[in-house]
A and B are shown apart, each in its own frame.
Chain A
Amino acid sequence: MSKDVKDYDVYEVFSQKEPTGKFESQFSLLAPNADVALAMAQENFMRREEVPSNLFVVKRENIHFMPPEKRKALLRLDNKDYRQPSHYGYIPSKWRELKEKNAPKASV
């Protein structure tokens, strides 16, 4: 066996539960190409899961991970409530209050 290519490539396997769902990473396997990787993926990693609606594989070298020293870029302060719907939780009761306050007065 030639020494320049010693083993198969690493492929990462992703699967999608349902057509409207996101793809999630399953695990990785060794395969000489994407066709073989695809033919092995489900039985290697999803034998007990519900049948996925789709799969894809990516050669590991084509995936770019955030390098360890840059992962600090993922940090942020926990002060962004204003992005959350829960931050506006007062609104329904405020509407009720306003409706009551400004209801047209019944004519006598």
Chain B
Amino acid sequence: MFKPEITIHSDDPRVQEFLERIENGEKIEVDDWMPDDYRLQLIKLIAMHGISEIMGAFPEKEWVPKAPTLKRKLSLMAKVQDEVGHGQLLIRVAEDLMHPLGKTREDLIEDLFSGRLKFHNVFHMPAPSWADAALIGWLVDGAAIVTQKMLAHTSYAPYARALKRIILEERFHAYHGEDMVIALGDGTEQQREMMQDALNRWWPALLMFFGPPENGEIKSNQEINIRYKIRSKTNEELRQEFLDKYVPQIRALGLEVPDDNIYYDETKKQWVYTHPDYTYLRDVIAKNQGPRSQNRLNLRKIGFDNNEWVREALLHNQKAIS
């Protein structure tokens, strides 16, 4: 494991200069000098973001062959393909950051299997009905869009460039998700029930997606990210944005937010709601013990192991020419 030597707390003059650049709104490139902890925070964040896109393909993919109409088959395939494509973009950015540490994509995948590299909580959850596929496209993507919009202002230019592409495609994802839930929410009794069930199932995971609220206590990890302008908002700010956008949509569809206590506090200009049990993130999800964690990891592992002969054959060719 790479030990950071030069950090935000070091008195190395280069750190001060680096922070000044960041404060001036300058963007950092992969070949710029950077403090070790800046690099490590980025790798951690971007590798998790990237691998979550890859793992996020699996829950929706369960419904790709079963998508109800020819049009849905096409659009859902395109959407899941985009997720894998976003994974490609992000993992490439992480790979370039890992390069000086002698690590490659293969190491990253192995970190996933060993549990060192985590993927987002929502992709550990089951998707037992077609409405779950619709809900993922609508609200899981919705939550991701809120986070990614914030991250697009990141100080690290290659990440910002990848996010720019991703956000453009997310505009399609947002409409795609809304198109699916409108068909169900505005559909038959059976369809509306499916949709409400899926919402009930996913609500706590959606709130957890943004992480525990800070309650005025910013952790050092997050503080570093904010000072380095890797991110600019807190978990709770992001969750509030999500609620701002989606509670009205949920209600417009005639669905019920599965929280009897939720209301908008006009004076504080924020949502008051029942928090999920965030210890679930640390005690279950982070240990890959969620309902579908092992299944999804296993799929990734099968894909990886079964094709080892292909990678080996291509690496053989690569060596032959280099």
Contact = CB atoms under 8 A, between A and B. Distances in A.
Is chain B in direct contact with chain A in the complex (CB below 8 A)?
A: yes
Contacts of A68: 29, 31-33
Given A1-B308, A33-B321, A7 B31 contact: no
Interface residues of B, number: 31
Contacts, number: 59
Given A8-B314, A65-B31, A68-B29, A30 B92 contact: yes
Interface string B58-94: 0000000000000000000010011001001100100
A27 B74 CA distance: 25
B38 to A, nearest CB: 15
B165 A27 contact: yes
Contacts of B322: 5, 9
A98 B96 CA distance: 62
25 contacts: A1-B312, A5-B318, A5-B322, A6-B104, A7-B105, A8-B314, A10-B95, A10-B96, A27-B92, A27-B162, A27-B165, A30-B105, A32-B314, A32-B315, A32-B318, A33-B317, A33-B318, A44-B88, A45-B165, A47-B81, A47-B82, A67-B31, A68-B29, A68-B31, A68-B32
Given A5-B315, A7-B105, 17 more contacts: A1-B312, A1-B315, A2-B315, A6-B104, A7-B104, A7-B106, A9-B322, A10-B92, A10-B96, A30-B92, A30-B105, A32-B317, A33-B317, A33-B321, A47-B81, A47-B82, A68-B31
Interface string B40-58: 0000000000000000000
Nearest to A25: B161
Contacts of B89: 27
Contacts of A65: 31
B211 to A, nearest CB: 29
B164 to A, nearest CB: 11
Interface residues of A, number: 23
Of B32, B314, B315, B319, chain A has the most CB atoms within 10 Å of the CB of B315
B315 A29 contact: no
B64 to A, nearest CB: 16
Contacts of A83: none
Given A27-B165, A29-B92, A8 B318 contact: yes
B244 interface: no
